[in-house]
Amino acid sequence: MKNKTIFVACDTSNLTKINNILKNTRNKKLKIIPKFGLQFFYSKHGRKYLEKYKNDYWLDLKINDIPQTAISAINSLRDLKKCKYITVHANGGANMLKAIKKKAKQVNKNLKILGVTVLTSLNDKSLKEIGHTNSVEKLVLKQANIIKKSGCDGIVCSAKEAKLIRNKYKKLLIITPGIRLPGENSNDQARVMTPKNAFKNKVSGIVIGRSLTKGNIKNNIKKLIDHLN
């Protein structure tokens, strides 16, 4: 099961809760990597904490700006030596993605750039409301093409589009949020899937937040392992 990568979403600005999540998600049966998002990174102690963090982690910033500003943002993260993954948004366009990938090689040769497609909180109706005429599926495939051509290392999409992307891009990292254990509420997610079904769609890794971090974390990890078995 070590070949299944689980990214645990550390969605809190509370250091005690962060340490509790990191401590209780350590597991010999699963490959678990923490994902720190905007809430923690923007918090008073968040960035300093990540400067000193000793293990690989994912920094989920979803960078989306003009190319020069985007590469300046990447350059400002050069002290975060253990940051292994960082997210950039496909909406920034090919020039931004290419510029970020080029700068990342200079900043940290181990840093992998993940292009974010349509957020898992959105559906076809949501896209129409903001002016898109394509369906979620068609838009994600277009974004995947831009992400791949720009040289990014991977893509972030829902597990519902993952199979289509895998069929087209055999070696691309595909990481999927919007993951829920069987029977759980989808909450603010519109496109969700269970861990087992996501891996059946040949994803490289899945992102799990509340399903693991709410309540008894060790019991939740056991539920995940039982589910995957």
Q: What is the mean pLDDT of the chain?
A: 92
| pLDDT at 73 > cutoff 80 | yes
CA 121, CA 45: separation in Å to the nearest integer?
28
- Told to judge if 196 belongs to the known catalytic residues of this protein, a careful annotator would answer no
Banded pLDDT at 209 (limits 50, 70, 90)? very high
CA 73, CA 89: separation in Å to the nearest integer?
13
CA 97, CA 5: separation in Å to the nearest integer?
24
CA 46, CA 67: separation in Å to the nearest integer?
25
How many residues would you count in the chain?
Answer: 229
Q: What is the mean pLDDT of residues 6-35?
A: 95
| pLDDT at 85 > cutoff 80 | yes
pLDDT of residue 23: 96
* Residue carrying the six token digits 């069987």: 182
Phi/psi zone of residue 128: left (φ > 0), alpha (ψ -120 to 50 degrees), beta?
Answer: alpha
Task: Report DSSP state, residue 196.
Answer: H
pLDDT of residue 182: 80
Banded pLDDT at 134 (limits 50, 70, 90)? confident
Contact at 8 Å (CB) between 164 and 188?
Answer: no
Q: Which one, of 67, 101, 106, lies nearest residue 86 by Cα?
A: 101
Beta strands in the chain (DSSP E): 5-9, 31-36, 57-63, 83-89, 112-116, 154-156, 173-176, 205-208
Banded pLDDT at 175 (limits 50, 70, 90)? very high
| pLDDT at 202 > cutoff 70 | yes
Contact at 8 Å (CB) between 116 and 63?
Answer: no
Q: What is the mean pLDDT of residues 62-79?
A: 96
% of the chain exceeding 70 in pLDDT: 95
Q: What is the mean pLDDT of residues 4-29?
A: 94
Q: Which one, of 101, 55, 111, 53, lies nearest residue 78 by Cα?
A: 111
Contact at 8 Å (CB) between 162 and 201?
Answer: yes
**Which numeric CATH code is attached to 5-228?**
3.20.20.70
| pLDDT at 48 > cutoff 70 | yes
Q: What is the mean pLDDT of residues 25-41?
A: 94
| pLDDT at 116 > cutoff 70 | yes
Which member of 28, 44, 54, 62 is catalytic?
62
Whether pTM > 0.85 for this model: the answer is yes
Q: What Cα–Cα distance (Å) separates residue 125 from each residue in 44, 118, 122, 130?
A: 37, 13, 8, 9
